[in-house]
Amino acid sequence: SPADAAPVFDAKGIETVRRDQCAATQHLLRGSLEALFTSGGDLSKVKQYLQHHASRMRSGRFALKDFIFHHELRPMEDYRSSGPLAAQAVRRSGSEWPSPGERFAFVVAQGPPGSRLADVASLPRDVVGGSPF
């Protein structure tokens, strides 16, 4: 509101608050938006913010928990084909299919060049150093 002394971040329906996004996405998007608005629209500040965090990730300074997605799946029979990444991760892992309303945790790991996302969606326990076991 124009009457606010300081800007207030009020997010609804955007990836910064969606439960199916990983924490890294939420934090990076929120930080980028805050950098954009506090700098008066200076995109170089957003670029600087993102480059700093990309550098940290490339050097291995991150927590795996920040990259875990949590998706709610429908019953297995609702998927005619392979379904979303979470469904493919459940099938490949051999885990029991989640109950309706239960969220399934998975990460998108690094795979060989040319890998499809569906091939590298894995359970968090199966990921070491960014690659599936």
Tell me the mean pLDDT in the region 28-46: 92
Which pLDDT belongs to residue 71? 87
* pLDDT on residue 31: 93
Mean pLDDT of 6-35: 80
pTM for this model (two decimals)? 0.73
Is the confidence at residue 13, as pLDDT, over 80?
A: no
Residue 34 has pLDDT above 80, yes or no: yes
Orientation angle between helical segments 43-58 and 23-38, nearest 10 degrees:
150
Q: What number is the average pLDDT over the span 87-110? A: 85
